[in-house]
């Protein structure tokens, strides 16, 4: 959709949890709560319709979107309401109009009943349907478990459930009398819905379970004239109602600046000329900052172990590179060169992040694609990078690069039948079975360990976030003249890739071409996690190895 009003994303700390929100506009405070398993992303149309008249704060409920969960196995509407009240307090909101859809409507009504001084009026949409009790069997059929299957079919199952919810009611009861006569969302919209389910994870149905049987009718009756119900699908009318109700409400204060949690990883967004960049960080230690860049097609979540391992010695920041993970994709109308980017453009983005963070000089670590971005950034701005660690640079022959450029990047744009999901799944499985993955023959068998379905699932989730940007984010690596540019590298550099990594073969030759570099084999972590493919990305167990190199020049 066209964003007429800029929508900024933020995190705020509340009772030790980080809550994620979107904010736009100026004027009276209106707070929006989404239905589950969606996130505040589902409210963008309403945010835009309201932002001309109000300050709109759209929260992600606990456990959804970017908000951390409550740590409870079966949270109630009361639990969600209490946590959301804490978030509103952390944001300094003292008076607002509150709007909620579905499960968010139940939470909004509960908050309004608990905090009459805070909530001037509450508007709910679709809450009664969510509060309708159902049997445990029907609930289980309505919400299939999100358990990764070895063949990726769990993704197709959830895609079908999301799609069929617009065709039958309930979606699993396929009879003429249950047929719904309405529009089915397009593939892009269904993909956004699926991504919200994947962000919520196995507990994606917790909100719906909490709402089932909630006494929404009683709550609305208790609230009297402060409560308003609206029908679904009338965004402009909802916005007009909310703006009228909020006209005497004061504006909220600005969102607090980024907040560290000593001893724990935190997240924040960095504003750049190309949009917002998601950053994971810990900055309780003094010293020169360390910035970590991930491999493709994943995101900074794979570097959380390495970040934590370094955090006792240095301030550390792991970025979702531009257009990856939860970072924004550049607006091509404003930045048309990003339609066909080069590594120079990615390096410009990285330097912009360093500038925005206010760092004069950093140590820089990059893995695979992250290493190539870090290399180009150090060449372009050598005075900004004190020391550089590159875990895997690409120095293929022209013929090898030609093969990769011809077939390495599958089309993973959302398709109406969900076929893009299996394309992503099989590609992420095969990338560790053959090198390159599309050369599926005995001569190209990889020595990587066989990976688990849960690990493929994590990578596919990040890959789906790229969408049509998948090739744009990857192709520049294989178009980059690495050997030609390495002699321009003056930054003190360590080329260090574990021996079982297929890019390790380039480390010594790359170091020989650079002016101030050495190579070595990085130790392979013995830590194993089923959260992601641990052998592919370094984690906390090798933090000491990389810090040893950085600390040689820490003064």
Please list the rounded mean pLDDT of every run of 10 residues in the chain (555 residues): 79 96 98 98 97 97 98 96 98 98 98 98 96 93 95 96 95 94 95 98 97 96 96 92 97 94 96 97 96 94 90 96 98 96 98 98 96 98 97 94 94 96 96 92 87 91 95 96 97 90 91 95 64 48 88 76
Tell me whether the omega of the peptide bond preceding residue 84 falls within 30 degrees of 0, making it cis: no
Instruction: Please give the Cα distance from 520 to 493 (Å, whole number).
Output: 11
DSSP 253: P
Task: Give the CA distances from residue 146 to residues 139, 155, 157, 191, 285, in Å, rounded to whole numbers and listed in that order.
Answer: 14, 8, 9, 16, 38
Residue ranges matching CATH 3.40.50.1820 in the chain: 1-139+206-257, 260-394+480-555
Phi-psi region of 266 (alpha: psi -120 to 50; beta: other; left: phi over 0): beta
Phi, psi of 25 (to 5 degrees): 80, -170
Q: Could you tell me which residues are beta bridge partners of residue 123?
A: 99, 228
Task: Find out if CATH 3.90.25.10 is the number for domain 1-139+206-257.
Answer: no
**In angstroms, how far is CA 508 from the centroid of its own chain?**
35
Tokens 């999301």 sit on residue: 162
- Give pLDDT, residue 16: 93
Tokens 């969302």 sit on residue: 185
Task: Give the CA distances from residue 20 to residues 62, 203, 320, in Å, rounded to whole numbers and listed in that order.
Answer: 9, 18, 16
- Give pLDDT, residue 205: 97
Q: Which of 51, 13, 4, 10 is nearest to 29 (CA)?
A: 51
Instruction: Please give the Cα distance from 340 to 472 (Å, whole number).
Output: 6
Q: Are 510 and 393 in contact (CB under 8 A)?
A: yes
Task: Give the CA distances from residue 185 to residues 7, 305, 511, in Å, rounded to whole numbers and listed in that order.
Answer: 23, 38, 52
- Give pLDDT, residue 448: 77
Tokens 């319709």 sit on residue: 49
Q: Which of 117, 383, 91 is nearest to 252 (CA)?
A: 91
- Give pLDDT, residue 217: 96
- Give pLDDT, residue 534: 42
Superfamily of domain 260-394+480-555: Alpha/Beta hydrolase fold, catalytic domain (3.40.50.1820)
**In angstroms, how far is CA 466 from the centroid of its own chain?**
10
- Give pLDDT, residue 538: 55
Q: Are 139 and 170 in contact (CB under 8 A)?
A: no
For the chain, the C-alpha Rg in angstroms (whole number) is 25
Classify strands 275-282 and 266-272 as parallel, antiparallel or unpaired.
Answer: antiparallel
Q: Where are the alpha helices (DSSP H) in 70-152?
A: 77-90, 103-114, 127-130, 136-142
**In angstroms, how far is CA 69 from the centroid of its own chain?**
15
Task: Give the CA distances from residue 175 to residues 89, 179, 210, in Å, rounded to whole numbers and listed in that order.
Answer: 48, 6, 28
Instruction: Please give the Cα distance from 107 to 163 (Å, whole number).
Output: 26
If one counts every other C-beta atom within 10 angstroms of the C-beta of residue 395, the result is 18
Instruction: Please give the Cα distance from 510 to 512 (Å, whole number).
Output: 5
- Give pLDDT, residue 555: 53
Say what the pTM is.
Answer: 0.95
- Give pLDDT, residue 542: 82
**In angstroms, how far is CA 476 from the centroid of its own chain?**
22
DSSP SS3 for 282? strand
The torsion defined by the Cα of 35, 152, 144 and 209, in degrees rounded to 10, comes to -40
If one counts every other C-beta atom within 10 angstroms of the C-beta of residue 517, the result is 20
Q: Which of 388, 324, 380, 316 is nearest to 347 (CA)?
A: 380
- Give pLDDT, residue 533: 43
If one counts every other C-beta atom within 10 angstroms of the C-beta of residue 90, the result is 17
- Give pLDDT, residue 541: 66
Instruction: Please give the Cα distance from 15 to 471 (Å, whole number).
Output: 41
Instruction: Please give the Cα distance from 540 to 526 (Å, whole number).
Output: 10
């Amino acid at each position: 959709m066209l964003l007429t009003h800029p929508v900024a994303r933020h995190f705020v700390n509340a009772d030790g949890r980080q809550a994620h929100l979107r904010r736009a506009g100026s004027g009276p405070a209106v707070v929006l709560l989404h239905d589950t398993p969606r996130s505040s992303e589902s409210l963008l149309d309403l945010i835009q319709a309201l932002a001309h008249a109000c300050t709109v704060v759209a929260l992600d409920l606990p456990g959804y979107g970017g908000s951390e969960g409550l740590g409870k196995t079966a949270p109630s509407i009361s639990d969600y309401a209490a946590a959301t009240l804490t978030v509103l307090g952390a944001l300094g909101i003292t008076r607002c109009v509150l709007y909620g859809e579905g499960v968010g409507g139940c939470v909004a009504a509960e908050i309004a009943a608990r905090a009459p001084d805070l909530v001037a009026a509450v508007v709910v949409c679709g809450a009664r349907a969510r509060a309708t009790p159902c049997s445990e069997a029907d609930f289980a059929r309505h919400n299939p478990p999100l358990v990764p299957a070895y063949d990726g079919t769990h993704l197709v199952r959830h895609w079908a459930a999301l799609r069929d919810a617009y065709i039958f009611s309930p979606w699993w009861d396929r009879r003429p009398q249950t047929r719904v006569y309405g529009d089915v969302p397009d593939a892009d919209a269904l993909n956004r819905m699926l991504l919200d389910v994947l962000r919520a994870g196995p507990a994606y149905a917790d909100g719906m379970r909490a709402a089932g049987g909630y006494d929404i009718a009683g709550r609305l009756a208790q609230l009297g004239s402060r409560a308003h119900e609206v029908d679904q699908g009338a965004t402009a009318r909802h916005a007009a109602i909310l703006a009228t109700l909020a006209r005497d409400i004061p504006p909220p204060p600005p969102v607090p600046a980024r907040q560290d949690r000593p001893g724990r990883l935190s997240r924040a967004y960095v504003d750049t000329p190309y949009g917002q960049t998601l950053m994971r960080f810990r900055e309780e230690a003094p010293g020169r900052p360390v910035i970590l860049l991930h491999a493709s097609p994943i995101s900074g979540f794979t570097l959380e172990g390495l970040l934590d391992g370094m955090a006792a010695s240095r301030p550390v920041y792991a970025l979702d590179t531009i257009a990856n993970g939860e970072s924004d994709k550049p607006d091509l109308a404003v930045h048309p060169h990003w339609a066909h980017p080069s590594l120079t453009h990615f390096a410009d983005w990285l330097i912009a992040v360093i500038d925005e963070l206010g760092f004069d000089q950093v140590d820089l670590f990059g893995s695979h694609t992250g290493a190539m971005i870090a290399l180009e950034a150090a060449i372009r701005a050598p005075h900004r990078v004190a020391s550089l660690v590159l875990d895997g640079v690409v120095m293929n022959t022209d013929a090898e690069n030609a093969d990769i450029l011809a077939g390495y990047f599958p089309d993973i744009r959302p398709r109406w039948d969900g076929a893009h999901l299996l394309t992503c799944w099989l590609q992420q499985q095969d990338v560790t079975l053959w090198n390159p993955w599309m050369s599926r023959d005995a001569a190209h068998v990889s020595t990587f360990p066989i990976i688990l379905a849960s690990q493929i699932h994590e990578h596919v989730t990040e890959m789906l976030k790229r969408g049509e940007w998948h090739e744009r984010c990857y192709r520049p690596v294989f178009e980059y003249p690495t050997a030609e540019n390495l002699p321009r590298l003056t930054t003190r550099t360590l080329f260090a890739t574990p021996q079982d990594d297929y890019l390790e073969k380039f480390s010594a030759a790359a170091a020989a071409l650079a002016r101030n570099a050495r190579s070595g084999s990085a130790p392979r972590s013995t830590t194993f996690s089923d959260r992601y493919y641990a052998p592919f990305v370094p984690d906390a167990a090798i933090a000491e190895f990389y810090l040893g190199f950085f600390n040689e020049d820490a003064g």
